[in-house]
Amino acid sequence: MARELPSSLLMFIASRSAASRIFEAVHDAGFDDLTIAQSRLMMGIDPAGTRLSVLAERAQIAKQTATALVDKLERAGYVERVPDPSDGRATLVRLTPRAEAVLPVARAEEDRIEAEWRAHLGPEAMDQLRDALTALRDITDPYQ
């Protein structure tokens, strides 16, 4: 008899599927110079910018890896480094207008995924899933 998959793995499988679809939609829209690793790092950038160390922590990668990814994103015009107004010694990584142009494409695919999941699960189950995942943020999301 097959082992029942843990909830965390089930959430990861669904999340990985959604991320792959969003990444593919972004590529299909002409942003084909982005890698999946770069896009995952970009997801961690706050609207006002984010320190590199925080980006590395959010992406669960070494700071050196995050630096290399940011360097490539900066050369491609997706991010810029700016002084941190709260600490003159630090810098923030901030999205550029080119990166902002990716967001509507990603959001549209997110909306399609939500609609498909809602159609598959039904409105009540989808609402319960969203409520449960939102409640789990209280104990799983250190960035909220």
pLDDT tens-digit profile of 32-50? 999 999 998 999 999 999 9
Does residue 131 carry a pLDDT above 80?
yes
pLDDT tier, 87 (very low <50, low <70, confident <90, very high otherwise): confident
Query: Which spans in the chain are helix H?
Result: 7-28, 36-43, 52-59, 63-75, 97-100, 103-121, 123-140
Q: Is the C-alpha dihedral spanning 53, 66, 37, 77 positive or negative?
A: positive
Give the mean pLDDT of 8-30.
Answer: 96
| CATH code 1.10.10.10 region(s) in the chain | 33-95
pLDDT at residue 141 in the model:
85
Among candidate residues 82, 122, 115, 78, the one with its CA nearest the CA of residue 99? 78
Take residue 108 and report the two structure tokens written for it.
């549209």
For domain 33-95, the CATH architecture is Orthogonal Bundle (1.10)
In whole angstroms, give the CA distance from residue 110 to residue 64: 30
* pTM recorded for the entire structure: 0.86
pLDDT at residue 1 in the model:
66
